[in-house]
Amino acid sequence: MIPESDWRTFKEIHQVALERFCEKILAECRTVCQDKVQSSHSRYLALYDLVHQRYKEMRRVFDPFSRSTALFSLAQMWQMELIIPAELNRFGPETREWVMRVGQPDI
């Protein structure tokens, strides 16, 4: 379980990372909507699929919002580049080490 001081930091970082994730999704949605090569129907279907997929990702990373799942959520945020090194450095050394070890990008 994440230490109390890191939990307080996590609650702040969680909101920042969620906002970044939503901005990325909205940018992807704009790209799909502005693709004039595809028909309107094709764009609608692509947009639906995109939103559905990103919603599943959002739930995996950001829900449930609890102290017992915070480390795993934080590692996924790190892996998805939703938090920056300066934000990760706000956590204690044990939390940082764990997140950097577990949250390695998939290669």
SS3 string, the chain, reads CCCHHHHHHHHHHHHHHHHHHHHHHHHHHHHHHCCCCCCHHHHHHHHHHHHHHHHHHHHHHHCCCCCCCHHHHHHHHHHCCCCCHHHHCCCCHHHHHHHHHHCCCCC
- Is residue 50, in this structure, part of any structural domain at all? yes
Cα–Cα distance for residue pair 17/99, rounded to 1 Å: 15
- Is residue 105, in this structure, part of any structural domain at all? no
- Is residue 107, in this structure, part of any structural domain at all? no
- Is residue 84, in this structure, part of any structural domain at all? yes
Query: For the chain, how many structural domains are there in total?
Result: 1
Range of the domain at 47: 4-99
10-residue mean pLDDT series, the chain (107 residues):
95 97 98 96 98 97 94 96 96 95 72
- Is residue 106, in this structure, part of any structural domain at all? no
